[in-house]
Chains A and B, each alone.
Chain A
C-alpha cells in the first residue's frame, strides 16, 4: 500500500480530475461503467497466448484518456506502481513454459514469453480503463450508477459514506503520523506499540465521529433511509456510447484486426 501522504494526494488528484467538464465527464456514469465492465471481460476472455488481437483494445483507454483530457503521465505512474505484482506472477510463465511457440528467423520465442506478454498487456489495459473510469465519473458517480443498476441500497449508501469520510480520516491519520515522526528522530517506521496506540486513538475518534454523524442525521429526520434526488434519465448519447463500444469490443474479440492489417501491409510489401 502506498505511503499515506502520497495515497491521500492520489485520491485527491483523481477526485479533482473527475470535476472535469468534457463530454466524457458529463456522460451518464452508467454508460461508462457498463462499457468498462464489458471491456474488461472481453479483454480477459482471450486465450492466454493472445497478443496481437489485444492491441486494438488500446483504442478505448486511449480515447478515454485523450478525450477526457486525463494526464497520461499520472496514470502511467499509477500503473507502474502496481505492475510488480502482475510481473512477478507472470514471469514464471517463461520459466515454466519453454515450448517453442513460433520461430522468427533464428529467434525461437517460447509460449511462456508470449503468455507473459499477454498478461502484461491485459494488465495495462484493464488498469488504465478502471483508473480512467474513476477519473471521468468520480467515485460518487460510479456508486450512483451501481445503485441505479441494482446494487443494494444499504451497501451503496455506506460506500458513499466511506468515500465522504475517507478524506477526513486520512487527513486525521496524516496529522498523527506526522506528529509522531516529528518526535521520532531515528526510526522511520513505528513499533507495534506506538502503532496500536496511534491507530487506536484514530479508531476511538472514528467511533465518536460516527456517533456524531448519526446524531446529525437524526436531527434532520433520519429514519434509516437515505433519500436522494437523482435525475438520471435515459439519454440517447449514453445508450449510443454503451452500445457502440460494447459492439466494437465484441467485434474485436472475434476479428483479429492487427493480423488482417499486418497481412495486408506485409503482403503488399512482399
Chain B
C-alpha cells in the first residue's frame, strides 16, 4: 500500500498581495517516514503546510496525497487522512470540554456514538491525558493543551500527521515527553519546526526551506553538520551539537557521542 505518500511537484504559491510564498517546491515522502521541515522565519514552512490539507491551492505545480492528486473534489477525503496539529492549541481546541473537542472529528465522520467514545478515550490514553476529559480547554496547561490537540487529531485515525511547531511554548519536561510521544507514533510525520534538537530526535530526514525554495533534503544529522548550509538558510546547529559553555569541551567528543547514540537509536 502506498496511500501514505505525500508528493509535491514544482509547487508555487503567491499570496494575494503579491508576496511569494513558495517558488517551486518538489519532494516525495513515503509511508512511515518522519520528516522535519526547517527554515528561518518566513521561509515558507507554514505556507507549505497549508497546502497539505488543501487550505491553500498552489498557483502552479501539483500535490499528491495518497494515490490521488489533491483537487477541490477530494479535499474532504484528504483532510480525513491528513491530521493537522496547529501551532497554537487554542486555535484547535474550540469546543467546551476536552471530550467534546476530541470527539469533534469522529462525530463529523458520522461514526456511531459508542465508536466515537471509544476513539476519544483511546486517543486521550495514547497521549496520556484521559483524566482531563471533562476539563475546559482554557483551564489546561500548555503541555496539556498540546497533548489534547494531538489527541483531537489522532481520534480521526489519520495516516499522515502534519505538525506546526509542536514543541513551541512548552516547558522542558513537557517537551521531552512530547518528543517521546512523537517517536512512538508510526504515522507518516511532517513536522515544521525551529527546534532542531527535536528534529534530530524525531526525524530521520530533514527538508531545509529558504525563501520558498528547498535548499537541502537529506538525512537529518548530515544536514545539521553542514554549517555552511545552515548559515545560508538562516539556521544554527542544534544546541546539542554545539559546545559546552562550562567545560569548553565539545565538537569531537560530543559529536562522536551523539553519533553513537543516534546509530544505536536507529538500529
Residues of chain A whose beta carbon lies under 8 Å from any beta carbon of chain B: 15, 140, 143, 160-161, 163-165, 167-168, 209, 212-213, 215-223, 226-229
CA distance A54 to B225 in the complex (A): 80
Given contacts A216-B86, A221-B76, contact A229 B117 (CB under 8 A): yes
Tally of chain B residues near chain A (CB < 8 A):
35
Contact B156 A216 (CB under 8 A): no
Contact B79 A219 (CB under 8 A): yes
Contact B107 A229 (CB under 8 A): yes
CA distance A188 to B194 in the complex (A): 40
| Residue among B55, B96, B109 making CB contact with A221, cutoff 8 Å | B109
| Residue among B50, B97, B100, B104 making CB contact with A220, cutoff 8 Å | B104
Contact B136 A221 (CB under 8 A): no
Q: Pick the 5 closest A-B CB pairs, nearest first.
A: A221-B108, A220-B105, A227-B107, A167-B138, A140-B96
Instruction: Scan B64-106; emit 1 where CB is below 8 A from any A CB, else 0.
Output: 0000000000001001101110101011101111001001110
CA distance A250 to B91 in the complex (A): 47
Given contacts A212-B86, A227-B108, A228-B107, contact A219 B91 (CB under 8 A): no
Set of chain B residues within 8 Å of A226, measured between Cβ atoms: 95, 104
CA distance A160 to B139 in the complex (A): 15
CA distance A168 to B109 in the complex (A): 28
Set of chain B residues within 8 Å of A15, measured between Cβ atoms: 136, 139
Within the complex, the shortest CB–CB distance from A212 to chain B, in Å, comes to 4
Within the complex, the shortest CB–CB distance from A20 to chain B, in Å, comes to 13
Interface residues in B128-165 by Cβ distance below 8 A to A read 136-139, 152-153, 156
Contact A217 B94 (CB under 8 A): yes
Contact A220 B138 (CB under 8 A): no
Residue of B nearest to A219 (CB): B84
13 contacts between A and B (CB under 8 A): A164-B138, A213-B91, A216-B84, A219-B83, A220-B108, A220-B152, A221-B108, A222-B104, A226-B95, A227-B103, A227-B107, A229-B100, A229-B103
Within the complex, the shortest CB–CB distance from A197 to chain B, in Å, comes to 21
CA distance A223 to B104 in the complex (A): 11
Given contacts A215-B55, A218-B55, A222-B108, contact A140 B138 (CB under 8 A): no
Set of chain A residues within 8 Å of B109, measured between Cβ atoms: 221
Set of chain B residues within 8 Å of A223, measured between Cβ atoms: 108
Within the complex, the shortest CB–CB distance from B37 to chain A, in Å, comes to 18
Set of chain A residues within 8 Å of B88, measured between Cβ atoms: 212
CA distance A180 to B92 in the complex (A): 29
Most buried by B among A163, A168, A215, A223: A215
Contact B94 A229 (CB under 8 A): no
CA distance A217 to B79 in the complex (A): 11
CA distance A167 to B116 in the complex (A): 28
Residue of B nearest to A166 (CB): B138
Residue of B nearest to A223 (CB): B108
CA distance A221 to B96 in the complex (A): 18
Most buried by A among B80, B84, B90: B90
Contact A228 B55 (CB under 8 A): no
Contact B138 A216 (CB under 8 A): no
